[in-house]
Amino acid sequence: MGESPMRGVSPVREKLRASTIGIVVCTLVGLAIGMMTQLGVLAAQQSSGPTTSSLRLPATKQAPAMTFKSGDMGEIEIGDGIELGFTDYTAADGIWLRVLYLTKTDQAEAVAAFNQRIAHATKVIKRSEKRDANGRVIGERAQILAPLARPAPPYHAVIWTDGPTFHEIGSPSLQHVLQFEREYRH
């Protein structure tokens, strides 16, 4: 009765496989929503001017000023019952970003979300302490490549914990992710 439906595969491996499939599916759905949102935003931009739901990031030495318009918002589950809120943004140049954030403020859940995203990353590029404006350590930060089905472009993400909160900014464009992170206020 307790035998695994897949011969020779442990229940733990089955759960890990199901969790990985769930994350890939959520990511693909997010990409599809982002692409559909981009088309809608581009059509709307042709017929109207900027709105109050836009976020304008100032120019820096690394990149010129960017304006991001918010789009779809909602909640998704990334596995193990961890629900995250999301807001999609589209830059004036058509590049989309997705911001994920923990909808409950619980440090254990924030750390669990962070560790789950690290565990499912294709590559961890950089991992370090997260510091506030005064240099005080407030959590952990990582820059990762998230798994996507080929031939999709790489999905760059910056994830971090800030005490009881978890945040992720992701996009096919690393430049857009890093610029948005510099100005993101939660």
Q: Express each pLDDT in 23-81 by its tens digit.
A: 444 444 444 444 443 433 333 333 333 333 444 444 445 555 678 899 999 998 887 77
The structure's pTM equals: 0.65
Per-residue pLDDT, 6: 47
The residues that bridge with 56 in the sheet, in sequence order, are 67
**94 or 9: which leads in pLDDT:** 94
Residues 152-178, mean pLDDT to the nearest whole number: 93
For every residue of the chain, DSSP letters joined together read ----SSTT--HHHHHHHHHHHHHHHHHHHHHHHHHHHHHHHHHHHHHS---TTEEEEPP-SSS--EEEEEEEEEEEE-STT-EEEEEEEEETTS-EEEEEEESS--HHHHHHHHHHHHHT-SEEEEEEEEE-TTS-EEEEEEEEEE---TTSPPEEEEEEEETTEEEEEEES-HHHHHHHHHH---
When pLDDT is cut at 50, 70 and 90, the band that residue 93 belongs to is: very high
Would you state the structure tokens that stand for residue 147, as one six-digit string?
């798994």
**173 or 50: which leads in pLDDT:** 173
19 closest CA partner among 75, 78, 60, 105: 78
**133 or 2: which leads in pLDDT:** 133
Contacts of 186 (CB under 8 A, 6+ apart): 101, 162, 165, 167
Torsion angles phi and psi, residue 127, rounded to 5: -135, 130
Most confident of 62-71, 144-153, 172-181: 172-181
- Spell out the domain ranges in the chain: 11-183
Would you state the structure tokens that stand for residue 35, as one six-digit string?
């692409």
71 closest CA partner among 34, 30, 46, 25: 34
pLDDT over 90 for what percent of the chain?
Answer: 44
Per-residue pLDDT, 63: 52
